[in-house]
Amino acid sequence: MTYRSPLLNTDGAVEAGGPDAGIAAHYGQPLAEQKHLAAGAAVVDLSQRGVVSVTGPDRLSWLNTLSSQALTDLAPGVGSETLLLSIQGRIEFAPRVIDDGTTTWLIVEADEAAGLTDWLTKMKFALRVEVADVSADWGVIASTAELPGLAGKTVWQDPWPRLGEGGYAYSATDEASHPGYERPWYEYLVPADELESAVSGQQLAGVWAAEALRIAAWRPRFGVDTDEKTIPHELDLIRTAVHLSKGCYKGQETIARVHNLGHPPRRLVFLQLDGSQHTIPAPGSGVIAGERTVGKITSVAQHYEMGPIALAIIKRNAAPEAELIVDDDGEQYPAVQELIVATDAGQVVGRQKGFLRTPR
């Protein structure tokens, strides 16, 4: 059954598409909504998201053995994120994780929930855990500020871009100047039948506003900035979603080998696009350096201050100083790249110098 948020009945609401189908792209004033959201004066309906609950006394230690993050001692109310990987280290699921003391909640993209529930259920064995897809019972409301009206609700605070214990920063910028610090992010779990009352009296912003702020914060999104080949190193996710010394889990060998001895084949980059065409390219548009296609746009938005911006996945060896062109079926957009993942990412063993920061 296709999901449709009750907030789409709000005056001016225009439905989004793709992974955000079922919620509002905007409510008539996308840039004004984005400005309100950035200031902490608006909330975003993300009720299309999937929600998976894990209960039972073994839940955290069990999730710890399956995923890339250290979760055994996760304290109630502390937001984390983890990755479930293939044997080759490719990202298969990317849950946001919050535990309330009795239940571990996994907030995922809409099309992740069923597959994640099925896979976790198969991995239970004799452990004291229960897994359920509760997406139909819960909605997500997000903001860049804590919402006093939702005090007492379970809330996930995005750890991005804070360098977590056991993590490692692949970005070329120093920690203090990372633009992600300008975007605090809170996602509240709200019973589905309370969604409208939870936002009553609040300024609403559409998901376009949320996406623009996410892109500006260099925050990758599963299913949007990833494909079937993506490994965490390419997106700088080692900083928040991977604990490099936590013990065995599926895909760990690839994580360690690329981090210590190799280089990720691709890297995430931020693009400031030429805005003179008054349009923006579509996700999937090619990124060209000279005569060579070096990657593709994965996320794109109109930012209320910077104009058109994008995230792209490009080949690691594409020169950081190269002038880039984004080609959308013949429509070309000059682009200035800003390094997110450093060109010398990886090969940490024996590293004496370079862009990358040492582990915490």
pLDDT band of 23, cuts 50, 70, 90 = very high
> How many Å apart are CA 184 and CA 214, to the nearest integer?
10
| Superfamily of chain region 265-341 | Aminomethyltransferase beta-barrel domains (2.40.30.110)
Half-sphere exposure in the Cβ direction for 14 (13 Å, CA): 8
Closest CA to 208 of 27, 41, 50: 27
Residue 185 has pLDDT above 50, yes or no: yes
Residue spans of the domains in the chain: they are 6-216, 265-341
Tell me yes or no: is domain 6-216 CATH 3.30.1360.120: yes
E strand residue ranges, the chain: 14-15, 24-26, 43-45, 50-55, 80-81, 84-85, 91-93, 96-99, 103-108, 130-133, 138-143, 155-157, 186-191, 204-205, 266-273, 286-289, 292-303, 307-315, 324-328, 331-339
Strand partners, 286: 296, 327
**DSSP H stretches of helix in 19-154:** 30-38, 59-66, 113-122
32-59 residue pLDDT tens: 999 999 999 999 999 999 999 999 999 9
pLDDT band of 307, cuts 50, 70, 90 = very high
> How many Å apart are CA 257 and CA 252, to the nearest integer?
8
Residue 357 has pLDDT above 80, yes or no: no
Q: How much is the pLDDT for 350?
A: 63
> How many Å apart are CA 318 and CA 329, to the nearest integer?
22
Q: How much is the pLDDT for 176?
A: 80
Contact 69, 237 (CB under 8 A): no
Q: Is the pTM of this model over 0.85?
A: yes
Residue type, 349: V
Helix (H), strand (E) at residue 207: helix 207-216
